[in-house]
Chains A and B, each alone.
Chain A
Amino acid sequence: MPVVFFLLLVGEGSGVTHWLEKHLLSCPFKTFTGIDCPGCGLQRSFVALLKGDVWMSFKFYPATLPILALFIFTILHLKFDFKNGAFLIKGMYIFATVIIVTNYLYKIYHHQLF
């Protein structure tokens, strides 16, 4: 079963990655105004990550990896109950928030939005 899933992910021009690429949800803010919102790029970045392209993923949206790490760590923490897990989750959350805000300010400053 995991092998089948892996093949689905890897298949070029078909499979899960291709389907995701063709079915990205469009952000209502962006469709109305044409301006990126602070969350724009997350899906493109995630697809790039599924393709194995970490650098493109980082360029699309730098906060994807911290957010994914936060998700995985939260699931592990809820299952195994680490000693300082709650504190670490808080720290990672604040880290991800800072990256999101910095990324948006950077985009505004360098006129990548409009």
Chain B
Amino acid sequence: MSEEQEGQGPNSQPNQENSQNPQNPQWQQNPQGSQGFNRPNPNNPFPPYGGGFGGMQMALPNATIVLVLGILSIVTCCCFYGVVGLVLGIVALILSRKDKQNYLANMSYYTLSSYKNLNAGRVCAIIGLILSGIILLLCVLFAIFFGFSTLTDEEAIRQMLKELQ
């Protein structure tokens, strides 16, 4: 293992060339990604750590949390005028953004399944965010158009809705 790490030194120049390779567009998206032995070389049959050759791969640290928050954001989308769902969705998106950058920077460190979980959580969070955003917007529009006093009075609302029909 240590020999491979040291052997990575002279290889750093070809790595740079590989990063310009159009076959690996994900490295171009992350030019600020980690340098040196952290950067997996797709053409290297013996990646420094892991990489499918029996090495230990970690799960992304936030993948589970993002998935759970994303799913909870749909259940709580209507609690307190959509605010709870909105907060959960935003938190999930922020957490997932960091982990996604981490994964794309060094793919061989993390398991693919946790990345899939992360992406599923992201999709769930986005849907929950949109839904709770719509509900919050509707509440705000309602309050603006008909006044907050109307909102807190059940009879006034009934009256108003009857007039609308």
The chain A residues found within 8 Å of chain B, CB to CB, are 27-29, 32-35, 37-40, 42, 67, 70-71, 74, 77-78, 81, 85-87, 89-90, 93-94, 96-97, 100-101, 114
Please indicate the chain A residues that have their CB under 8 angstroms from the CB of B151 in the complex: 32-33
User: DSSP majority for the B interface?
Assistant: helix
Is A86 touching B113 in the complex (CB atoms < 8 A)?
A: yes
The chain B residues found within 8 Å of chain A, CB to CB, are 64, 67-68, 70-71, 74-75, 77-81, 113, 116-117, 119-120, 123-124, 127, 131, 135, 139, 151-152, 154, 157-158, 161
Please indicate the chain B residues that have their CB under 8 angstroms from the CB of A87 in the complex: 116, 120
Interchain CA distance A78-B65 in the complex, whole Å: 11
Interchain CA distance A67-B117 in the complex, whole Å: 18
Interchain CA distance A74-B113 in the complex, whole Å: 13
Is A93 touching B75 in the complex (CB atoms < 8 A)?
A: no
CB within 8 Å: A-B pair count: 76
**Chain B residue, CB-CB nearest to A94:** B127
Which of B70, B77, B154 is A39 in contact with, Cβ under 8 Å? Answer: B77
Is B127 touching A93 in the complex (CB atoms < 8 A)?
A: yes
Please indicate the chain B residues that have their CB under 8 angstroms from the CB of A93 in the complex: 70-71, 74, 120, 123-124, 127
State the Cβ distance, A71 to closest chain B Cβ, in Å.
7
Is A71 touching B113 in the complex (CB atoms < 8 A)?
A: no
User: DSSP majority for the A interface?
Assistant: helix
State the Cβ distance, B136 to closest chain A Cβ, in Å.
11
Which of B78, B117, B135 is A86 in contact with, Cβ under 8 Å? Answer: B117
Is A114 touching B158 in the complex (CB atoms < 8 A)?
A: yes
